[in-house]
């Protein structure tokens, strides 16, 4: 009996840690939190901040050109952006600090990425967003600047689209 109790206690503790690490948006956890104040330096040298998200539903995707899953999901991220962009939806793809800038520029140009692409060459942005280390890690931010969902790995895009539609419909 003690062994079962310990197993249950360990699993509960692990779930609690995962909820905190995942920003309470994954693994069945709930509790929105404000998107961290960050400055994104885009490929063209311009800067955008999380304050620019206000009034829009925004997908923030941490990725790398060396990440097989990131590369595989990118056409779906493009399609999602194209589908909802005119309705108040935006996307920022944040390349990880270890990704060579020339690779990121080449990837963005050859795939004609239609959304904002930032390079986090110092790792400060990934740190601010919960010390992101695994790619892809994606956050969905509502119009009020609250993170409503976090995905580690490729999202279920059908579910993501339903959530985007729900958030876009909110005032």
Segment 87-109, tens digit of pLDDT? 999 999 999 999 999 999 999 99
CA distance 160 to 26: 12
Residue 30: predicted pLDDT = 46
pLDDT of residue 27: 39
* Cβ-Cβ contacts under 8 Å for 123 (sequence gap 6 or more): 96, 97
What tens digit of pLDDT does each residue of 124-140 get?
Answer: 999 999 999 999 999 99
Identify the pLDDT of residue 171. 82
Q: pLDDT tier at 44 (50, 70, 90 boundaries)? A: very high
pLDDT at 14 over 70: no
């Amino acid at each position: 009996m003690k062994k079962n109790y310990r197993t249950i206690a360990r699993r509960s503790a692990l779930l609690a840690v995962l909820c905190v690490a995942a920003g309470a948006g994954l693994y069945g956890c709930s509790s929105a939190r404000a998107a961290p104040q960050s400055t994104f330096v885009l490929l063209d040298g311009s800067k955008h901040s999380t304050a620019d998200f206000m009034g829009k539903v925004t997908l923030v995707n941490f990725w790398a050109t060396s990440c097989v899953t990131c590369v595989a999901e990118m056409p779906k991220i493009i399609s999602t952006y194209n589908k909802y962009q005119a309705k108040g939806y935006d996307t920022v793809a944040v390349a990880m600090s270890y990704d060579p800038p020339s690779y990121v520029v080449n990837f963005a140009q050859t795939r004609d990425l239609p959304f904002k692409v930032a390079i986090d060459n110092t790792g400060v942005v990934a740190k601010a967003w919960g010390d992101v280390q695994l790619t892809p890690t994606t956050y969905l931010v509502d119009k009020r600047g609250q993170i409503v969902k976090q995905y580690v790995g490729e999202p279920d895009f059908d579910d993501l689209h339903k959530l985007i539609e729900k958030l876009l419909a909110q005032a």
